[in-house]
Amino acid sequence: MAFTLPSLPYALNALEPHIDARTMEIHHGKHHNAYVTNLNAAVQGTEWENKSLEEIMANISKLSAAVRNNGGGHWNHSFFWQIMGPNAGGAPTGAVAEAINSTFGSYDKFKEEFSKAGVTRFGSGWAWLTAAGGKLTISSTANQDNPLMDIAEVKGTPILGVDVWEHAYYLNYQNRRPDYLAAFYNVINWDEVNKRLAAAK
């Protein structure tokens, strides 16, 4: 098969108490796995079968809803697991700290705007911090869309993102999306965010 489910880079309970093991188990093992299975089915026998996920994202306007939803779902979740981690969180470090301070004024101000993007995304979607042309932008997308897609309003390299689908938080936080977003800052892997910022165009 062209696409495979990546292993989690840490244990299911590694992000507790902020994100619980049962949520991680279902989110990775069921939801992410389904995006991979459905993406493979959607590209099977087409010219996209052996293309990279990034190439698929850049051409998403030409592709089916199944590829958009499941390809986006596969990319977004693979990214999400990487930019979180145990013994993480707290204030950003390195180049991303400087970029956040110069763009938003302070880390607290950034958190306010990033959380607002997540809270105000109606229904299911993602909030993003994207780098493009040396600038950082906060945005949100519906469903499994992302800033790599050619249809995105804000395009660029995602360096941080948070899943605000109910499946990402409902077991532990029920309807309290703002509480889940507040907890998310405790699990951000800033080393990984810095790597993605360094690689951004």
Instruction: Report in angstroms how near the CB of residue 169 gets to Mn ion at its nearest.
Output: 10
Q: Could you give the CA distance from residue 125 to residue 106 in angstroms, rounded to a whole number?
A: 26
Stretch that binds Mn ion, among 40-48, 129-137, 164-172, 187-195 (CB under 5 A): 164-172
Q: Which tokens sit at 60?
A: 């998403």
**Separation between Cα atoms, residue 160 and residue 82, nearest integer Å:** 10
Q: How far apart are CA 15 and CA 189, in angstroms?
A: 11
CA–CA gap between residue 22 and residue 78 (Å, rounded): 18
Token look-up 């390195």 returns: 94
Q: Which amino acid is at 106?
A: S
Q: How many residues belong to the site for Mn ion (CB under 5 A)?
A: 3
| Region binding Mn ion by CB under 5 A among candidate stretches 39-47, 82-90, 165-173, 187-195 | 165-173
> Quick check: 79 binds Mn ion (CB under 5 A)?
no
Q: Could you tell me the smallest distance in angstroms from the CB atom of residue 107 to Mn ion?
A: 25
Rounded least distance, CB 5 to Mn ion, Å: 13
Question: Binder to Mn ion among 165, 173, 180, 190 (CB under 5 A)?
Answer: 165
Nearer to Mn ion, 90 or 178 (CB): 178
Candidates 125, 139, 163, 193; binder of Mn ion (CB under 5 A) is 163
For residue 12, the minimal CB distance to Mn ion (Å) is 15
Residue whose CB is nearest to Mn ion in the complex, by number: 163
Q: What is the DSSP letter of 135?
A: E
Site for Mn ion, rule CB under 5 A = 163, 165, 168
